[in-house]
Homo-oligomer: A and B are copies of this chain.
Amino acid sequence: MNIERIGVLTGGGDAPGLNAVIRAIVMAANKHGMEVMGIKRGWAGLLDGGEVELLTVDDVEDIHRTGGTILRTSRTNPEKHPNGMEQIKKNLEKYHIDALIAIGGDDTLGVAQKLLRDGIKVVGVPKTIDNDLCGTDYTFGFDTAINIATEAIDRLHTTAKSHDRVLVVEIMGRYAGWLAMNAGMAGGAHVILVPEEKFDPDEVANIVKKRREAGLNYTIIAVSEGAVPTDAREFITQDDKVDEFGHVKLGGIAKRLAKVIEKKTGQESRSVVLGHVQRGGAPSAFDRVLGARLGIKVVNLILEGKFGQMPSLRGTCIGSVPIEDAIGKLKLVDKSFLEEMKIFAGR
């Protein structure tokens, strides 16, 4: 059977570069005589009656320059909907979609993998702003996020220096510290704390003190949102709610750490949470190129009948790997990179 019509959807959190992928898919598919249907709001757009519309070259003309996804996104998991997977298959048929491109992270690709087993012609495009997905060197959106966080750290430097302060900046990264490591190193943070390695607040305080002794009255600490202290007791406040197991969810690590450091060092300490700003806006050149190349490649995978695969970046080359090799695992920052960073700490 010939592929005449491709469906494309984006799932999970948005990442700069998504539109570059969509644009390349539409342009490449059109060159090869295939139509592209845009599915709205991730898997949600294939439930119920479906939210599906034709995407033309005109629709995608200049979208590679903007963040977000013109298809919009959701975290909807069809497996949690009664008859969800069936509805998806029905809607794919209803809209005459011969092959489906699922752009997303672990969750989105997980559903794609299940549809594949049911005989649907699915290919994937890996997406995670945290860069913690296996099977590819870099994911798009990651470079843009690093640049945004680096610029923020640059800005904080001049303020910290002028006011003799410790500034703790909280960066995305729940399970992996790629963003904090890279932005911290690029921005010249003096301490970087990541989920891969529990941190000792006393060691951090000592770096602050040591810098002060060397006449450096300021310190920048970059901390992943998922970083955890070796001993959480000092980080818990009276206002924290304890769950039924006596556990406290340590949200807002930057704010807590700033307080702990101020107490331990006597130095004025403040925190900044970069938040949603990190994932929006115009993608960097790297992310646009990566997005474009993945988009072209994924259309080629369809043409070659390589279903169940997703494009991946290796060095400067775009190859492909099976979707199932990428999901369910976490790519963590390796020990040696964590070690490298230490030469910048505490002088």
Contact = CB atoms under 8 A, between A and B. Distances in A.
Interface of A: 10, 13-14, 16, 18, 24, 27-28, 31, 41, 57, 62, 64-69, 72-74, 137-138, 143, 146-152, 154-159, 161-164, 167, 182-183, 185-188, 239, 270, 272-277, 279-282, 284-286, 288-289, 292-293, 296, 314-317, 334, 337, 340, 343-344, 347
A289 B186 contact: yes
B158 A280 contact: yes
A41 B65 CA distance: 25
B14 A65 contact: no
Given A272-B275, A286-B286, A155 B343 contact: no
A98 to B, nearest CB: 20
Contact of A188 (B65, B138, B185, B239): B65
Contacts of A154: 65, 280-282
Nearest to A292: B185
B315 A137 contact: yes
A273 to B, nearest CB: 7
Contacts of A148: 155
A156 B343 contact: no
A186 B288 contact: yes
Given A57-B347, A280-B156, A347-B57, A288 B161 contact: no
A102 to B, nearest CB: 16
A256 to B, nearest CB: 15
Nearest to A157: B280
A14 B159 contact: yes
B158 A188 contact: no
Residue of A154, A158, A183, A272 contacting most chain B CB atoms (<10 Å): A158
Contacts of A24: 343-344
A288 B152 CA distance: 15
Contact of A158 (B66, B162, B314): B66
Q: A-B pairs with the 8 shortest C-beta distances?
A: A68-B158, A155-B281, A155-B280, A67-B158, A68-B162, A186-B285, A159-B280, A150-B285
Contacts of A161: 68, 72
Nearest to A215: B58
Contact of A72 (B68, B137, B163, B185): B163
Contacts of A282: 154
Contacts of A27: 343-344, 347
Contacts of A158: 14, 16, 66-68, 280-281
B288 A277 contact: no
A338 to B, nearest CB: 12
A277 B14 contact: no
B137 A276 contact: no
Contacts of A28: 343
A317 B183 CA distance: 17
A72 B162 contact: yes
A176 B343 CA distance: 36
